Chain A
């Protein structure tokens, strides 16, 4: 056994003399490290949840939505009138022609018309779109099929039902092969979608309750008008497209293209009757928020670790004073200054490292309990946070131990031996 190990062992045995004191001393580090792990796990879990939700909308996607502009002529307007707003086929064409980085462009037209199966009725939205919608929206078919390019170009009256819609109109029967009436026209059902599994509930709800028909069909049968009747008034809206989903090849182009699209739309639309949703920008925003939270809690945790370190230093200084005579004896019997330094440093190092390990266990347990008892929460303990917490605690230990240890070794052996 080397001299180093022999002396390190003295340090570890010093801790066993006062188990309670050692535990209390380490408590500061235990709580500090535990808090770091726990807080970061909660933040990380929450961040991952948000990111997953955003990613479900496609991080390479840019989503343009029609938005009814603020009505500033309400007082003078007639009760029945036509409002024209939203995205146009022309917009879609221009975007497609201008931005070569846009891989796929999916136009969507919402038709506000009830869907009937005989007498069973469902008030829902019918989404008129293109054959490649399914891929871009990451949906999948329960059974049946999606409509084809041919059906698209022929404006065939076929429909695919969302999972919830199929259930509400057909109960347990298989709707494929049957037909539904949308507005006044009949559509053959060719497929049923799988229930959506995004964590964005509003979006899932909309998709699962929708019926999907070819965009060409809706143009032919409904024109561009949506008629909404309310008590005493009739709103006629003229909207060509409600949604255009752009899928960009490379994620790094997403933000710049979204800016380009914004500029282009601003030029051709007199008022802002659209909105641009960039999941990636939201994702980056969410990541920034998450990082900010991490920094904030990180600094709180750093303070608690600092307090823990001061606690250790305090006890070690007291211990050095209390053991002055022992230090004198050891020096007289041949201990070098560095031996004394090492002895006390090992003590603090063991305290802080053991405290760190216990703290990590406590933090992970707390995160697990959090997930268990707080509904709808996810926590995520990352290796990074464990390494960080452990590293800081060891660092604090050395830092807090260094001064008392050096002070112990700097004692004059003669003075130390005289100490009562």
Chain B
């Protein structure tokens, strides 16, 4: 078992265009999370290429990957991944610490984003004091802090009831409408149905790709 090479992704050939809203589906172990990690520059392929804006990520240094994440990418996680010791505004402003942003400017920006996701009166609350839906909205606001062109969402509605899930999807749709590229992993059909394009994976391969639907 230990010696066996597990190919989490194998022969995936995928092009995602600028401004697309893509849902990646598939059973657990199908490689969809690995794909998202690759797209998010958290991981590098052992073989093959990932071109982000024509740049081969595999050849980049760790610090350059960090810089790329900081400048281009926004992350939304299933379990929100907010830092418990920070309040809402501080959580939203987190990516700005690692971008080049003055703290005063960062706070103003974070407050604006908190307002945008409807959390104006929750600014100084800690994540623990918020509902799941509110936490995910903080996470979405955070993913927007550095104004990224690509947003990667890993089962953003997985921990939410369907009503709050729909609210979150509405927010994502809004971001898509602004021209951002969104790649979302989900295993719920009705959530995937809200995307433009659905890529279904199985055993590390792309099993089905709907292409961009209008």
Please tell me if A369 contacts chain B, counting CB pairs below 8 Å: no
Known: A1-B102, A414-B43. A334 touches B63 (CB 8 A): no
What chain A residues lie within 8 Å of B100 (beta carbons)?
3
Asked if B70 and A413 make an inter-chain contact with CB atoms under 8 angstroms apart, the answer reads: no
Bound form: Cα–Cα A10–B90 in Å: 11
Asked if B142 and A333 make an inter-chain contact with CB atoms under 8 angstroms apart, the answer reads: yes
Give per-residue flags for A3-19: 1 if the beta carbon is below 8 A from chain B beta carbons, else 0: 10011001000100100
Bound form: Cα–Cα A6–B63 in Å: 18
What chain A residues lie within 8 Å of B70 (beta carbons)?
333-334
Bound form: Cα–Cα A17–B63 in Å: 29
- Chain A residue with the shortest CB-CB distance to B152: A332
Asked if B85 and A336 make an inter-chain contact with CB atoms under 8 angstroms apart, the answer reads: no
- Chain B residue with the shortest CB-CB distance to A337: B62
> Pick the contact of A414 from B42, B62, B102, B142 — CB < 8 Å?
B42
Listed residue (B40, B82, B85) with the most chain A CB atoms within 10 angstroms of its CB: B85
Bound form: Cα–Cα A224–B67 in Å: 99
Bound form: Cα–Cα A330–B90 in Å: 12
What chain B residues lie within 8 Å of A7 (beta carbons)?
97
Asked if A332 and B75 make an inter-chain contact with CB atoms under 8 angstroms apart, the answer reads: yes
Give per-residue flags for B85-104: 1 if the beta carbon is below 8 A from chain A beta carbons, else 0: 10000000011011110110
- Chain A residue with the shortest CB-CB distance to B94: A333
Please tell me if A112 contacts chain B, counting CB pairs below 8 Å: no
Please tell me if B197 contacts chain A, counting CB pairs below 8 Å: no
Asked if B63 and A338 make an inter-chain contact with CB atoms under 8 angstroms apart, the answer reads: yes
Asked if A332 and B63 make an inter-chain contact with CB atoms under 8 angstroms apart, the answer reads: no
Bound form: Cα–Cα A336–B66 in Å: 5
> Pick the contact of A333 from B62, B75, B85, B103 — CB < 8 Å?
B75
Listed residue (B43, B63, B81) with the most chain A CB atoms within 10 angstroms of its CB: B81
Please tell me if A326 contacts chain B, counting CB pairs below 8 Å: yes
Please tell me if A44 contacts chain B, counting CB pairs below 8 Å: no
What chain B residues lie within 8 Å of A326 (beta carbons)?
83
- Chain A residue with the shortest CB-CB distance to B63: A336
Asked if A329 and B83 make an inter-chain contact with CB atoms under 8 angstroms apart, the answer reads: yes
Please tell me if B147 contacts chain A, counting CB pairs below 8 Å: no
What chain A residues lie within 8 Å of B102 (beta carbons)?
1
Give per-residue flags for A323-362: 1 if the beta carbon is below 8 A from chain B beta carbons, else 0: 0011011111111111100000000000000000000000
- Chain A residue with the shortest CB-CB distance to B148: A334
Please tell me if B176 contacts chain A, counting CB pairs below 8 Å: no
Please tell me if B77 contacts chain A, counting CB pairs below 8 Å: yes
Asked if A332 and B42 make an inter-chain contact with CB atoms under 8 angstroms apart, the answer reads: yes
Please tell me if B69 contacts chain A, counting CB pairs below 8 Å: yes
What chain A residues lie within 8 Å of B159 (beta carbons)?
none
Bound form: Cα–Cα A328–B94 in Å: 13
What chain A residues lie within 8 Å of B62 (beta carbons)?
336-337
Bound form: Cα–Cα A330–B96 in Å: 11
Please tell me if A307 contacts chain B, counting CB pairs below 8 Å: no
Asked if B98 and A339 make an inter-chain contact with CB atoms under 8 angstroms apart, the answer reads: yes
What chain A residues lie within 8 Å of B81 (beta carbons)?
325, 328-329, 332, 417
Bound form: Cα–Cα A224–B95 in Å: 99
Bound form: Cα–Cα A98–B1 in Å: 96
What chain A residues lie within 8 Å of B200 (beta carbons)?
none
What chain B residues lie within 8 Å of A325 (beta carbons)?
81
Asked if A337 and B146 make an inter-chain contact with CB atoms under 8 angstroms apart, the answer reads: no
- Chain B residue with the shortest CB-CB distance to A10: B97
Asked if A334 and B66 make an inter-chain contact with CB atoms under 8 angstroms apart, the answer reads: yes
Please tell me if B196 contacts chain A, counting CB pairs below 8 Å: no
Give per-residue flags for B44-65: 1 if the beta carbon is below 8 A from chain A beta carbons, else 0: 0000000000000000001100
Q: How far is the CB of B100 from chain A (nearest CB, A)?
A: 7
Give per-residue flags for A397-413: 1 if the beta carbon is below 8 A from chain B beta carbons, else 0: 00000000000000001
Asked if A337 and B67 make an inter-chain contact with CB atoms under 8 angstroms apart, the answer reads: no
Asked if B95 and A333 make an inter-chain contact with CB atoms under 8 angstroms apart, the answer reads: yes
Asked if A417 and B77 make an inter-chain contact with CB atoms under 8 angstroms apart, the answer reads: yes
Q: How far is the CB of A132 from chain B (nearest CB, A)?
A: 76
Known: A333-B94, A333-B142, A338-B63. A414 touches B69 (CB 8 A): no
Please tell me if B164 contacts chain A, counting CB pairs below 8 Å: no
Please tell me if B166 contacts chain A, counting CB pairs below 8 Å: no
> Pick the contact of A335 from B82, B98, B146 — CB < 8 Å?
B98
What chain A residues lie within 8 Å of B146 (beta carbons)?
334
Bound form: Cα–Cα A10–B81 in Å: 18
- Chain A residue with the shortest CB-CB distance to B101: A6
Asked if A332 and B85 make an inter-chain contact with CB atoms under 8 angstroms apart, the answer reads: no
Asked if A334 and B99 make an inter-chain contact with CB atoms under 8 angstroms apart, the answer reads: yes
Given A333-B69, A334-B95: 5 more A-B contacts, CB < 8 Å:
A14-B85, A329-B81, A332-B81, A334-B66, A336-B62
B residues in contact (CB < 8 Å) with A: 37, 40, 42-43, 62-63, 66-67, 69-71, 75, 77, 81-83, 85, 94-95, 97-100, 102-103, 142, 146
| A-B residue pairs, 10 tightest by C-beta | A334-B70, A334-B98, A336-B66, A333-B95, A334-B69, A336-B63, A329-B81, A335-B98, A413-B42, A17-B85
Residue pairs across A and B with Cβ atoms less than 8 A apart, 26 shown, are: A1-B103, A3-B100, A10-B97, A17-B85, A326-B83, A329-B81, A329-B82, A330-B98, A332-B42, A333-B69, A333-B75, A333-B95, A333-B98, A334-B67, A334-B70, A334-B95, A334-B146, A336-B62, A336-B63, A337-B62, A337-B63, A337-B66, A338-B63, A413-B42, A414-B37, A414-B43
